[in-house]
Amino acid sequence: MTHTALESLLVMEIGDSVAGAYAGKLFADYGSEVHVVGEGPPIPGSSFFHTSKHRSGPGLLGEADIIIQSSTTNPIGSVYEPSHPQQIVLRISPFALSGPYATWRSTDLVDAAIAGHLRLSGSPTREPLSGVPDLVHMASGVTGFIGALAALMARARTGHGQIVETSHQEAVAALHQFSLLRYTHNGAILNRMGNRYSGPGTPIGAYECADGWIGLAISQSDQMERLLEVAGLAHLLNHEGIDTIYDVMTNQELLDGELIPYLRTQPRADLVGLFQALRLPVAPIATMEDLLTDPHLEDRDFWELDADGVRVPGPPFQISDHSWSIRPKQKHGSFSSAEEPLDRLKDGPLSGIRVLDMTRVWAGPLAARILADLGAEVLMTEVPWTRTPREVPRALVDSTHFFPEDEAGDCPWNRNGFHNKYANNKLSAVIELDKEAGRELFAALVPKVDVVIENYAPRVMPNFGLSGEALRALNPDLTYVTMPGYGRSGPNKDWVAYGPTIDGHAGHTWLTGYRNEIPWKCGIAWPDPTAGMHAAAATIVALLDRQCCGITGQTVEVAQVETAINMIGQHVVASQLGAPSSRWGNRRPGRAPQGVYPCKGEDRWIAISVVDDASWMGLCGVAGWNDLRKLDADQRWERHDELDDRLSSFTASQEDHSLMMVLQNAGVPAGAVFDAADVVNDPQLESLAFFVPLTHPEAGTHVWPRFAARLELTPATMRRAAATMGEHNEYAFLELAELSRSKYDALLEQGIVRTEPPR
């Protein structure tokens, strides 16, 4: 029997963080022998992380292939150094171990504040709202897992281990969708927009119907036209001041004024069935109990039973030659390494790997860009209608702020910052795949690449004649990565699936909201970036199998809904063990007080977490509360309302950044609620060279966040700005596909190959 690369690894996990525990769980679930030294994260449902691991003392640390060292609240204390030249040490901490915040304390609430995400969620007339508990730490864990896998690839090629570091701040700051680019391109600050996804267009968010809640994500003009027709709202197009469908989509007050009353009269199941039949992105907003009985997940045999009969989420991704399971593993053999020189990996550990990127929107493009950041040559094989139309309506320019200086320009398809963010480091070739000649041209590229990645609905690639089987017939060694929203099987496999709708269907929305109030959408669609990161990780796992074990021709399936459920795995487990399902707002049991409090200035806030008696004493000292110093944790929780009122009165006269510094110096986890300008100009991120300037020939120079994990010997790199549309057509088709010049010119004349969108 041929074993996979991860099955040859011994991994040791030290620390109390959810991030480290999830990174370790991914290694364990996919075959590695993982030992936990200590207790792990002290949270309800923590068995989710450890069912597939061993418990042991520190005796095996010196033998381990990988050490995962992490911390949740405090900086990592005694830093573990590699004990042999091939050992990889992954460190995950709240802030980087160097820089002005190196000694600061944090929580998931403070992480979200300083990384700029907290400001995006909640009511614009109330305090910003925390998202799913621990979600930012889960994202940090996936980031660390990718970094460790990349270091493993470098070790497999060179024999060298190395230190990999990431921080909650870096990991979460890297996962903004467009809030940072709106600022860097136009100085526009994106703030929370109510119970909806904080972005351009409406309706995107949580909506109440007659017997429950649904998530809608109407983001395209043709979808909006169908929605208005079926809801009997087409008359809105004749409203004063409405000239185009985009005007309706950007006028939330006008649309919601009539859409909300309509939806409240409709049964949820009927709405979902009707809207999905019309190819409108919609899904029910699920409770934890809904998830456990969901027919689609049952059909896919998603749930696994642990030793106590508790249902544990199944794999966040599937790889064809891996048998995923939650039982503890024993390593088989040793991890094999070659002896390439390190300088061959100067662009990153994946140097020499070639990827065809067919992805769109966010999750898929992020996955492929991470591979590019790690050194792979990523060639976008774009279809010509996926950037922007030839002419972009003024309403869209003004509402998105995606275009530099809020000007679409003569070639808006090359100036769109949202596209360019996820196209940095990539090449571009454009093919009309809906034409037979275009599909033949794509097929000629497949034998020349290592990976094909796409995030179409399951029916699309077979309809193109490019199913996994067809691709493998062209290239038996190919790693094929597919990212369907609901997977390639099950009753929902053909549903239109967007991150904001999966957010609700996967239980995230149900866990988010002001205390004891209705469910709320988070300010970003977390299922998108988390699916993208898992897809990047899964791709590297498959490439490690090829490098180390000669296993080729694997298919990677990343069902976005299943990845999203793994992101709340501990909450699903805790719900079955009797944990209360209350929405806590910004509070968390075990911390008191914790919340988001007003500061001087318009919409300025600070997040404060009292996590222990020491931080309570620090807060009392700063606020001058000598009368409250003796309150213990239980008393503080019982008097939380009173303490919130007193804190709000104190913070309201304070400047947010100054108070943050004072509280952190007193040992209190605290963070100003950063906006995009604060994040881009943050001194801690500046000390880490987190933002990298790139100059685009048509869009100008802007800074972009780098990949959040730092590899000591083979770092990720940002080598080039996004390619203009079809910039690398000749490389792709003349060199890789080996077309003759005359054939290429003919395809260009026919519009099969393009450098501009169709008219």
For the stretch 327-337, pLDDT in tens is 999 999 889 88
Q: What is the average per-residue pLDDT within 105-123? A: 96
For the stretch 543-558, pLDDT in tens is 999 999 999 999 999 9
Q: How far is CA 716 from CA 233, 337, 707, in A?
A: 50, 20, 7
Q: Is 636 within 8 Å of 643 (Cβ atoms)?
A: yes
Instruction: With cut-offs at 50, 70 and 90, classify the pLDDT of residue 200.
Output: low
Beta-bridge partner residues of 33: 10
The span from the CA of 410 to the CA of 420, in Å, is 16
Does the pLDDT of residue 171 top 90, yes or no?
Answer: yes
For the stretch 439-488, pLDDT in tens is 999 999 999 999 999 999 899 999 999 999 999 999 999 999 999 999 99
Q: Residue 343: how many CB atoms within 10 A of its CB?
A: 8
Q: What is the pLDDT of residue 694?
A: 97
Does the pLDDT of residue 581 top 80, yes or no?
Answer: no
Q: What is the average per-residue pLDDT within 214-221? A: 88
Highest mean pLDDT of the ranges 184-198, 381-395, 423-437: 423-437
C-alpha 341, offset from chain centre: 33
The span from the CA of 425 to the CA of 420, in Å, is 10
Instruction: With cut-offs at 50, 70 and 90, classify the pLDDT of residue 701.
Output: very high
Token output for 548: 């180390």
Q: What is the pLDDT of residue 247?
A: 85
Q: What is the pLDDT of residue 244?
A: 84
Q: How much of the chain, in percent, has pLDDT values that exceed 90?
A: 86
- 594-675 classified as CATH 3.30.1540.10: yes
- Lowest pLDDT segment from 116-120, 129-133, 192-196, 404-408: 192-196
Q: What is the pLDDT of residue 1?
A: 54
Q: How far is CA 261 from CA 141, 211, 275, 280, in A?
A: 41, 13, 17, 19
Does the pLDDT of residue 202 top 80, yes or no?
Answer: no
Q: What is the average per-residue pLDDT within 584-597? A: 95
Q: What is the average per-residue pLDDT within 725-730? A: 96
Q: Residue 701: how many CB atoms within 10 A of its CB?
A: 11
Q: How far is CA 184 from CA 188, 191, 400, 704, in A?
A: 8, 15, 13, 9
Q: What is the pLDDT of residue 42?
A: 80
The span from the CA of 295 to the CA of 405, in Å, is 48
- How does 311-341 read in b/e, with b if 16+ C-beta sit within 10 Å? bbbbbbbbbeebeebbeebebeeebebeebe
For the stretch 624-660, pLDDT in tens is 999 999 999 999 999 999 999 999 999 999 999 999 9
The size of the chain, in residues, is 759
Angle (deg, nearest 10), helices 613-623 and 640-651? 40
Instruction: With cut-offs at 50, 70 and 90, classify the pLDDT of residue 201.
Output: low
Instruction: Please report which helix (H) or strand (E) contains residue 479, including its range.
Output: strand 479-482
Q: Average per-residue pLDDT in the chain?
A: 94
Does the pLDDT of residue 197 top 80, yes or no?
Answer: no
Does the pLDDT of residue 181 top 90, yes or no?
Answer: yes
Highest mean pLDDT of the ranges 54-63, 237-246, 529-538: 529-538
- Lowest pLDDT segment from 315-319, 387-391, 500-504, 678-682: 387-391
The Cβ-side half-sphere exposure at 363, using a 13 Å CA radius, reads: 29
Question: SS3 for 471?
Answer: helix
Q: Which pTM value belongs to this model?
A: 0.96
Q: What is the average per-residue pLDDT within 43-49? A: 89
Does the pLDDT of residue 299 top 90, yes or no?
Answer: yes
